[in-house]
């Protein structure tokens, strides 16, 4: 999608600090980290949020979770949180599906 920030990161129009890339997804560090380790994993295909996932496109979500497991194991993150905000009230600010991976500090529950 031409006016989507994360599509621009996928196609290289906007730079990012890449952690991992393959044909289906991209992982890069968050520009405004909320924990000592904070990166995002996104599908290369534009999907607005979890609400846009369906039986035709859901394979990429499983793939993203296997990439999250691979990266967090490689980074030796024993404990971490995976978050996806859906909609403005939940705090979504970029409307391209993404999973936050946060680690390196104590986390509170429930989230604010």
Catalytic residues: 98
Near Zn ion by CB under 5 A: residue from 7, 61, 77, 83: 7
Residue 91 is a binding residue for ligand AMP (CB under 6 A): yes
Residue 90 is a binding residue for Zn ion (CB under 5 A): no
Near ligand AMP by CB under 6 A: residue from 21, 30, 48, 82: 30
Contact 80, 102 (CB under 8 A): yes
Near ligand AMP in 36-75, by CB under 6 A: none
How far is 73 from 53, CA to CA, in rounded Å?
26
Per DSSP, which regions of the chain are E strands? 18-21, 25-29, 37-43, 80-83, 99-103
């Amino acid at each position: 999608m031409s006016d989507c920030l994360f599509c621009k990161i996928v196609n290289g129009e906007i730079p990012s600090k890449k952690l991992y890339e393959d044909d289906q997804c991209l992982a890069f560090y968050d520009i405004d980290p909320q924990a000592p380790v904070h990166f995002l994993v996104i599908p290369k295909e534009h999907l607005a949020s979890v609400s846009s996932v369906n039986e035709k496109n859901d394979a990429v979500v499983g793939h993203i979770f296997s990439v999250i497991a691979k990266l967090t194991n490689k980074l030796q993150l024993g404990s971490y949180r995976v978050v996806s905000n859906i909609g403005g009230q939940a705090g979504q600010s970029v409307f391209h599906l993404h999973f936050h991976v946060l680690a390196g500090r104590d986390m509170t529950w429930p989230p604010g």
